[in-house]
Amino acid sequence: MSEQGWREFLAAEGGGDWVVLHGGATAVFRVGTLSAAARLAEAIAQIPGLEGAGVLMTVGDGFLSVRLTRDLWQLESRHADLARAISNVAREHSARADRRAVQEVQVAIAAQPDDIDVAFWRAVLGYLPMADDNAVDPLGHGSTVWMQALNPSKSLRHAMHLDVSVAREEAMRRLQAALAAGGRIVDDSHAPEYWTLADRAGNCVCIASWPDGAMREGGA
């Protein structure tokens, strides 16, 4: 898998409204009402090249979220052009981009390599494949499920945690909020790409600013 597409997207001019999450580039636009959000969605749908591109829009009471792809690795140079066009239409409708609101929650299911069973999770959830190691909600409402291969040398047979992918400027605020709520840092050796935290019972979650605040080379 190549990083070129999403790295070019991050470097492109005019993409400041957009956050590159684990699941691709996403923007949230604030508007006054539900009907205003619907009108904005209709106007965006008329942008040349958007039809059939796999874009996912969610209309809510006072906001519109737009996701250009369902997977980070699907981002291509053309998506930067689409992002700029969408932002221009949003400004014409007096919509305000809200990067802080953009996030994606992913369920990471870990197992020894020989025990990974992505077909089971796709079947039981009614999800579709987006990559060999994941499953996605076809309607875009549920969290992506990612199958994480454990190190065969470890005795742990299976585990599960959440990944919270956010904008690079939001990660530290989210981390501080989690600590103030009683959480603790389990591992910060990969910061600022991500921090692993746990609640009082030991349930783990990763707060990730990668890939939006990209640093890692060769990561997948």
Q: Residue 83 belongs to a domain with what CATH number?
A: 3.30.1360.20
Looking at residue 122, which CATH number applies to its domain? 3.10.180.10
Structure letter (DSSP) for residue 166:
E
Find the mean pLDDT for residues 43-62.
95
Same domain, 126 and 94: no
- pLDDT value for 126: 97
- pLDDT value for 205: 97
Distance between CA 57 and CA 27 in Å, rounded? Answer: 10
Q: Is the pTM of this model over 0.85?
A: yes
Distance between CA 94 and CA 40 in Å, rounded? Answer: 10
> What share of the chain in percent tops pLDDT 70?
96
Average pLDDT over the chain reads 93
Distance between CA 108 and CA 150 in Å, rounded? Answer: 11
Distance between CA 109 and CA 214 in Å, rounded? Answer: 24
Q: What is the DSSP string of 40-80?
A: HHHHHHTSTT-TTTT-EEEEETTEEEEES-SSGGG--HHHH
- Under 8 Å between Cβ of 175 and 187: no
pLDDT band at 162 (very low <50, low <70, confident <90, very high): very high
Same domain, 124 and 162: yes
- pLDDT value for 219: 43
Residue numbers of the domain that contains 8: 4-101
User: For residue 202, is it left (φ>0), alpha (ψ between -120 and 50) or beta?
Assistant: left
Find the mean pLDDT for residues 120-134.
95
Q: What are phi and psi of 10, to 5 degrees?
A: -60, -35
pLDDT band at 220 (very low <50, low <70, confident <90, very high): very low
On the question of pLDDT at 10 being above 60, the answer is: yes
pLDDT band at 216 (very low <50, low <70, confident <90, very high): low
3-state secondary structure of 186: strand
Distance between CA 203 and CA 160 in Å, rounded? Answer: 9
Q: Out of 84, 101, 118, pick the residue that ends a domain.
A: 101
Q: Token match 């992505």: residue?
A: 118
- pLDDT value for 6: 94
